Structure formats: structure tokens, C-alpha cells
């Protein structure tokens, strides 16, 4: 049996569920999400859930801000908790250049109505008493962001979409997509589906799915480590949750997890994974951790946060993240293939996924982007970018961590 829908979304991570929810909210109820395994099966289930309002690129701040709003709205609509901890974030500065860049962003946050302060090292110490502030000149403080439960947020979006009439088919891999007259045809083991619009929200799997259409999507999986510690007495002694720290000097983000720390590390020599193709049986898996590689980075985190150095390490997770060369998502239409849309290559999909669903749905429904955001447009990369060029650019983007490149 062939079903026909207005839009078929491929991939049930946080991004696909967000697109589905946003389309349903815009009144497209003939929408279907196809997930090859279970919701959150890809990178989403093991993400740390950080949802800062100060990400890698200032120009996509609105996607970050709209994401937390989308998760909280879905929680309210469905009763599914998203586990939002509004502990705030600090983005540290050890140079005048960083501090000046942070100050220059203030009007943007004011215009968005988002609390944002550039504070001195004494104030940093008050907000986060466990930080060594010796080499700090200050920090940007976004006191109302924080972190969510990534799976909880995904399920809340999925439930909100279902309540508006959207359908989700789990254990239903899309094996091929092809143009069929005015429509798209999606092959699945449970029968074909036709759709006016197709959204590829399947992270690094999108590359292989799109290849038979003549598309060379510049997205490859990179390994990313996070370290979770045991409880530490210094955190147990506080009567508040410390904010997440993003530190360009020790490229990492570190937040409180219970009474321990959760630290995501940006390595200087990142490793890729499965660049020749994703193993067909890869599912809900982590990659073997490499603590030796992490050691020099963790030593710097310990210098910044001595309590981190006293903590026993409970878990080290290494998971793949789909990256585009500039570390921004591919979000928008594939202009050479009418009706085909990308919502993929999200390195911080929890931070930006909620807002990106709304951004893409508005574009699909209204026929134009809700606001100008060329930094995410899929057409910014040429279709003949070589694999080696892509990998070199991704590695460079990743190793920059939280530095403030002039063009961001
Ligand atoms: C250790 C670690 C920590 C992280 N921490 C954070 C964090 O704190 N904050 C943050 O913002 N991000 C974080 N991330 C990144 C985050 O996990 C990703 O950006 C996000 O999960 C991407 O979501 P997605 O929906 O695009 O992709 P995925 O979650 O990978 O979902 C893609 C889905 O598509 C499905 N699929 C694939 N092919 C097909 C097909 N042919 N048919 C049907 N379905 C298909 C897959 O099964 C999968 O469920 C972290 C990542 C790692 C590895």
C-alpha cells in the first residue's frame, strides 16, 4: 500500500521530531516521520543536553533561544518532562579580544530579550566558586540557559506532534528516495510512501541516502568524548547548581551532573569515524573511548577547575556527531531538487534542534525563510567538495572549540 503525505521526515532524533512538531503546529497534519529504529537512536540519546544561548556562532543565537522555548512548550502541552535545568552558562575570556567580542554581542541579546552580562573575574567566582580565575579577564554570562534531558525533549516534541495529528513510524528505515513525477517516493520495507516534501533529518546517514540523487552532502561523523565524574564534596557543599562553563583556553564545556561534573572535550587532533560509510548494523552504540587522547585536555580542565581533578571518573562516552565543514547545520531547501529539504549536520542538535524545526517549517509552509540565515543554507557548499577537503575543514572547525573566529 502506498501512503501519500504532505511531508515525510526521515529520522527520529531531536531534529526530526522538532521539524515534525513544527510542521504540525503550522497546520500541516498530513505529516509522517520515519525512523529506522527507535526515537533518539542516533546521536541524541547520549548527548549531554546542553542548551546554551551562547554557541559557536553568534549568528545562530536565535536558533538556540527558540530551542529551549520549543522544549518547554512541548513539555507544557504533553506533560512529558524535558528536564530543563536553568543553571545558566559562562563563556570565559582570557584575552581582550574575546572580551571585546563578548561585549559587542550585548545589543543582539538585548534585542532578543535574553539576559546577557559580561562580568569580571570576581563576579565569575561568585557565580561559579569552583573556577580558578587567575588568567581570566572576565566572562559572558547567560543566566537563563542550561541543559535538558535530550531524550525527554525529543519525546515531548514527538508527543506534541502526534497530538496535532502527525504520524510516527518506528522500525521503518527509508531504503531509497526518488523523484516520482511531482512527488517524492520513499521505499521502506513496510511499503512505499509518497510525499510532496521530504526532509532529511537523519544526521550523517543523510549522505548515503542522498548520494543516488547526485548529491554530495558535506557531512561526516566525528568522534566526540564526554567525561562524567563521581560526586565531589565541593559541589555537594553548594546549595545551587553551578553554570555550564565554556572555556576557549581549555576547549571544553563542563557542567554539573548530579553532584559530579560532565565535561565535553574539543580535541586538538580530532578523529573521524566511518568516513567510508556508516556500518549498516550501527545502532544505539557508543565508540570505544580513548582516554589517552583526552589526557592533555583534561589536565587543562583540572587547572581551570581543581575540584574536577579530585573527582573519580565514572564514565567516558565517545559518540559520533555529524559535522559539516563549518560546524553549522545544513538547514533549508536543496535548490536543485524541488521539495527536498535538509535538516542535518547538527553538531549541537540539542542546543539548536528545537529552534531549527520552527525555522525550517516556516520556510516549507511559507515558501521563504522566516528570517535571513545564510550561514545554515545548504547551498553554501559546492556539490563537488572533495572528501579530503571536507575532512580537513571539519577538523579545523572542531579544534577551534570555543574560540571567536572573526567571521563567526
Ligand atoms: C558525547 C556527545 C555529547 C553531546 N552533547 C551535546 C550537548 O550537550 N548539546 C548539544 O546540543 N549536542 C550535543 N551532542 C550532539 C548531539 O547529540 C547531536 O547534535 C544531535 O543528537 C543530532 O540530532 P539529529 O536528530 O540531527 O540526529 P540523530 O539523533 O543522530 O538522529 C538521526 C536519526 O535518523 C535515523 N535514521 C538514519 N537513517 C535513517 C533511514 N534511512 N530511515 C529512517 N531513519 C533513519 C537514525 O536511526 C537516528 O535516530 C553531543 C554528542 C555527543 C556524541
For 298-326, give the DSSP string. HHHHHHH-HHHHHSPEEEEEEEEEEE-TT
Q: Kindly give the distance from the C-alpha atom of residue 319 to the centroid of ligand 1, in angstroms, as a whole number.
A: 10
Tell me if 293 is assigned to some domain. yes
Q: Is 14 in the pocket of ligand 1 (CB under 6 A)?
A: yes
Residue whose C-alpha is closest to residue 139's, from 349, 405, 402: 402
For residues 227 and 134, state if they share a domain: yes
For residues 386 and 332, state if they share a domain: yes
Tell me if 63 is assigned to some domain. no
- Say which residue the cell 500500500 belongs to: 1
Tell me if 56 is assigned to some domain. no
Q: Are 103 and 116 in contact (CB under 8 A)?
A: no
Q: Is 222 in the pocket of ligand 1 (CB under 6 A)?
A: no
Q: Is 203 in the pocket of ligand 1 (CB under 6 A)?
A: yes
pLDDT score for 2 = 61
For residues 270 and 160, state if they share a domain: no
Q: Is 48 in the pocket of ligand 1 (CB under 6 A)?
A: yes
Q: Give the CATH number of the domain where residue 345 resides.
A: 3.50.50.60
Q: Each residue of 121-174: pLDDT tens digit?
A: 999 999 999 999 999 999 999 999 999 999 999 999 999 999 999 999 999 999
What's the pTM? 0.97
| Mean pLDDT within 188-201 | 97
Q: Is 20 in the pocket of ligand 1 (CB under 6 A)?
A: no
For residues 227 and 312, state if they share a domain: yes
Q: Kindly give the distance from the C-alpha atom of residue 193 to the centroid of ligand 1, in angstroms, as a whole number.
A: 24
Atom of ligand 1 at shortest range from CA of 319: 53
Q: CB within 8 A of 339, min separation 6: which ones?
A: 183, 184, 195, 196, 197, 198
Boundary residue ending a domain (275, 292, 321): 321
Q: Which DSSP helix (H) or strand (E) runs through 63?
A: helix 61-78
Q: Each residue of 67-106: pLDDT tens digit?
A: 999 999 999 999 999 999 999 999 999 999 999 999 999 9
pLDDT score for 313 = 94
For residues 241 and 338, state if they share a domain: no
Boundary residue ending a domain (321, 341, 356): 321
The span from the CA of 65 to the CA of 63, in Å, is: 6
Tell me if 300 is assigned to some domain. yes
Tell me if 97 is assigned to some domain. yes
For residues 101 and 137, state if they share a domain: yes
The residue to mutate among 15, 16, 38, 42, having the most atoms of ligand 1 within 8 angstroms of its beta carbon, is 42
pLDDT score for 206 = 98
For residues 41 and 187, state if they share a domain: yes
For residues 133 and 212, state if they share a domain: no
The residue to mutate among 20, 32, 40, 44, having the most atoms of ligand 1 within 8 angstroms of its beta carbon, is 44
Q: Kindly give the distance from the C-alpha atom of residue 117 to the centroid of ligand 1, in angstroms, as a whole number.
A: 31
For residues 299 and 346, state if they share a domain: no
For residues 214 and 225, state if they share a domain: no
Boundary residue ending a domain (273, 299, 321): 321
pLDDT score for 407 = 37
For residues 96 and 161, state if they share a domain: no
The span from the CA of 288 to the CA of 302, in Å, is: 23
The span from the CA of 225 to the CA of 276, in Å, is: 21
Give the Cα-Cα-Cα angle 55, 355, 246 (nearest 5 degrees). 15
The span from the CA of 172 to the CA of 183, in Å, is: 20
- Determine the structural domain holding residue 20 and report its residue range: 3-50+150-219+326-399
Q: Are 70 and 156 in contact (CB under 8 A)?
A: no
| Mean pLDDT within 99-116 | 96
Q: Kindly give the distance from the C-alpha atom of residue 46 to the centroid of ligand 1, in angstroms, as a whole number.
A: 9
pLDDT score for 401 = 86
Q: Is 60 in the pocket of ligand 1 (CB under 6 A)?
A: no
Q: Is 229 in the pocket of ligand 1 (CB under 6 A)?
A: no
Backbone angles phi, psi at 100, to 5 degrees: -65, -40
Tell me if 79 is assigned to some domain. no
Tell me if 128 is assigned to some domain. yes
pLDDT score for 285 = 84
Q: Give the CATH number of the domain where residue 104 resides.
A: 3.30.9.10
pLDDT score for 408 = 41
The residue to mutate among 168, 188, 205, 359, having the most atoms of ligand 1 within 8 angstroms of its beta carbon, is 205
pLDDT score for 251 = 93
Tell me if 408 is assigned to some domain. no
For residues 317 and 346, state if they share a domain: no
Q: Are 138 and 118 in contact (CB under 8 A)?
A: yes
Q: Is 321 in the pocket of ligand 1 (CB under 6 A)?
A: yes
Cα torsion at 349, 408, 226, 330 (round to 10°)? 30
The span from the CA of 86 to the CA of 45, in Å, is: 20
Q: How many domains does the chain have?
A: 2
Residue whose C-alpha is closest to residue 278's, from 16, 48, 42, 37: 42
Q: Each residue of 295-322: pLDDT tens digit?
A: 999 999 999 999 999 999 999 999 999 9
- Say which residue the cell 529552534 belongs to: 355
Amino acid at each position: 500500500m502506498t501512503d501519500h503525505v504532505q511531508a515525510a521526515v526521515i529520522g527520529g532524533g531531536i531534529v526530526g521530531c522538532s521539524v515534525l512538531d513544527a510542521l504540525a503546529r503550522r497546520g500541516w497534519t498530513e505529516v509522517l516521520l520515519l525512523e529506522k529504529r527507535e526515537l533518539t537512536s542516533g546521536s541524541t540519546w547520549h548527548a549531554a543536553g546542553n542548551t546554551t544561548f551562547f554557541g559557536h556562532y553568534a549568528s545562530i543565537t536565535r536558533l538556540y533561544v527558540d530551542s529551549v522555548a520549543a522544549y518547554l512548550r512541548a513539555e507544557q502541552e504533553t506533560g512529558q518532562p524535558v528536564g530543563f535545568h536553568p543553571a545558566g552558562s559562562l563563556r570565559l575570556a582570557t584575552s581582550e579580544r574575546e572580551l571585546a567580542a563578548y561585549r559587542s554581542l550585548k545589543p543582539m541579546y538585548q534585542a532578543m530579550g535574553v539576559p546577557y552580562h559580561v562580568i569580571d573575574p570576581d563576579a565569575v567566582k561568585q557565580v561559579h566558586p569552583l573556577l580558578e580565575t587567575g588568567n581570566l579577564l572576565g566572562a559572558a554570562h547567560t543566566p537563563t540557559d542550561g541543559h535538558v534531558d535530550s531524550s525527554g525533549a525529543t519525546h515531548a516534541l514527538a508527543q506534541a506532534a502526534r497530538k496535532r495529528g502527525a504520524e510516527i513510524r518506528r522500525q521503518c528505515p527509508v531504503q531509497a528516495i526518488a523523484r516520482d513525477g511531482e512527488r517524492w517516493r520513499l521505499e521502506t520495507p513496510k511499503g512505499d510512501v509518497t510525499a510532496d516534501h521530504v526532509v532529511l533529518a537523519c544526521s550523517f546517514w543523510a549522505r548515503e541516502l542522498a548520494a543516488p540523487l547526485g548529491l554530495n552532502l558535506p557531512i561526516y561523523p566525528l568522534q566526540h568524548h564526554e567525561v562524567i565524574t563521581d560526586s565531589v564534596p565541593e559541589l555537594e557543599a553548594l546549595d545551587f547548581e553551578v553554570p555550564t562553563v565554556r572555556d576557549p583556553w581549555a576547549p571544553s564545556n563542563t557542567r554539573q551532573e548530579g553532584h559530579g561534573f560532565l565535561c565535553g572535550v574539543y580535541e586538538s587532533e580530532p578523529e573521524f569515524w566511518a568516513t567510508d560509510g556508516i556500518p549498516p548494523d550501527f545502532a544505539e552504540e557508543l565508540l570505544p573511548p580513548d582516554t589517552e587522547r583526552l589526557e592533555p585536555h583534561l589536565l587543562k580542565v583540572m587547572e581551570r577547575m581543581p575540584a574536577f581533578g579530585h573527582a573519580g571518573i565514572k564514565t567516558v562516552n565517545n559518540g559520533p556527531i555529524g559535522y559539516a565543514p563549518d560546524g553549522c547545520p545544513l538547514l533549508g531547501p536543496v535548490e536543485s531538487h524541488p521539495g527536498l529539504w535538509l535538516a542535518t549536520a547538527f553538531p549541537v542538535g540539542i542546543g539548536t534542534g528545537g529552534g531549527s524545526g520552527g525555522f525550517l517549517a516556516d520556510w516549507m509552509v511559507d515558501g521563504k525563510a522566516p528570517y535571513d540565515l545564510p550561514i545554515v543554507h545548504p547551498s553554501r557548499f559546492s556539490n563537488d567538495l572533495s572528501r579530503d577537503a571536507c575532512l580537513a575543514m571539519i577538523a579545523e572547525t572542531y579544534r577551534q572549540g570555543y574560540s571567536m573566529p572573526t567571521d563567526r
